Chains A and B, each alone.
Chain A
Amino acid sequence: MIQPVRVPPDAPASTDDEMPADELSDAVLRQLLPRLRRFALRLTRDSVAADDLVQSTLERALTRWRGRRPQGDVRAWLFTILYRQFLDAQRRSRRYARLLSWFAGSDAAAPSAEREVIARSSLDVFERLPEAQRTLLWLVSVEGMSYKAVADVLDVPLGTVMSRLSRARSALRELHEGQAGEARLRILK
């Protein structure tokens, strides 16, 4: 289990203050690597695509480090790069899928079943949420990012993060309740 990092809402992310801000060291990156990989895996649902995404994130981070704002949350910055790259890739593949469907008339660009990661049962329900809600819940609940940092990653105002978070939690709750209902029906049968 990943221990969430608890941060007061209005304070800067304290865990990242311990990291040297003047240098993006390999130690810092290695420490964050499992988190980046898990987040990428949740986004892409494909371990190969996830690692590709992490690699391009690291490359971009290492080449852009000097141009970065001197202070700030290193983890949030890396997650932002990763998420933007994911969205870009999504847009590209959607365009490609449209192109393919134009020729094939089918959903030819969908990921193949065998490469798709099989979510553990505890995440089954979570996996049924739309990507934007999954990302939001992951950053808040699993990564324990501050709401402000999440707003930066998603590039939306703080108020939007809060209302979306409520909606996402309600949606997750409904899915859990739906699952519980299914389970009861099976028992009765």
Chain B
Amino acid sequence: MKERAIDDLTRNAYVDGQLDPSQLQALQAYLRAHPDEAQELEAWRRDAQRLREGAGGDDLPGNPALDPAAVRAGLRVRTRRRMAMAASLVVAVAIGGVTGWSARDTALASRVLPMQDAMQAYRLFASADAPQPDVLADAGDLQGWLDAYFAHAERLPNLSDSGFRPVGARLLATDQGPAALVIYENAGRRATFYIRPPGPGGQFLAQGSRRDGELVARYWSGRGYNYALVTAGDGRGQAAQVGES
């Protein structure tokens, strides 16, 4: 392209009608002296006009999915789903299988075991590098703290006969609402009491117990919540002992 006396900004601004009157006057004077360039810019202008005329011609059938209200609604649904997911992830990175209860009466029940989340919570919070508890037993009344979140729930189990005493508690999230884990200790051993709302259908658990690897869980329902007591069952007697307390 040959060298030009006027720059690209001026040439294009002329084509797009964006020159102010004094700039326009100066350019028009220049173009009168340079008819080749004047012709080119006029052609550019015609091309732009032709493009604008063709631009509205695309057939745009209505698409209700693109209405902002519909997009917003879709986002809300997705956000809720994500929050439920996030809530379960708080537990799940940590606790996993939150849907266990909701699915326990479905065809999937054989694959999802009751109180899977309680087991996972135990594994997380009984480990050496466990997250800090929200409340420590010596800093306050654990029962009172628990009552604030779970009104009318069963009392904390008294495991003192087994030598376990509560040392701390942590609030957790499930997609049915808050859950809590209370940690008991006995000379370095840990047991956990897990309380959570029932699954979406409001299912309660039959009383029972099961073994998962090295862990033993005892679970039951009552007063509107589901409970689990989990401990490492390195000896059957010891686990049973805790469970019976």
* A interface residues, Cβ below 8 angstroms from B: 1-4, 6-9, 26, 29-30, 33-34, 37-38, 41, 47, 51, 54-55, 58-59, 62-63, 117, 120, 122-123, 126, 137-138, 140-142, 144, 147, 159, 162-163, 165-166, 169-170, 172-173, 176
Contacts and interface: CB of A to CB of B under 8 A. Distances in A.
B16 interface: yes
B9 A147 contact: yes
A148 B169 CA distance: 57
B48 A141 contact: yes
Nearest to B15: A169
B54 A30 contact: no
Given A6-B18, A173-B43, A173-B47, A37 B66 contact: yes
A62 B69 CA distance: 11
Contacts of B75: 59, 62-63
Given A51-B65, A173-B43, A62 B8 contact: no
A173 B50 CA distance: 12
A146 B239 CA distance: 74
B67 to A, nearest CB: 7
Nearest to A28: B68
Interface string B3-25: 00001110111011110100000
Interface stretch (B26-34, B55-63, B120-128): B55-63
Given A51-B65, A59-B75, A169-B44, A122 B57 contact: yes
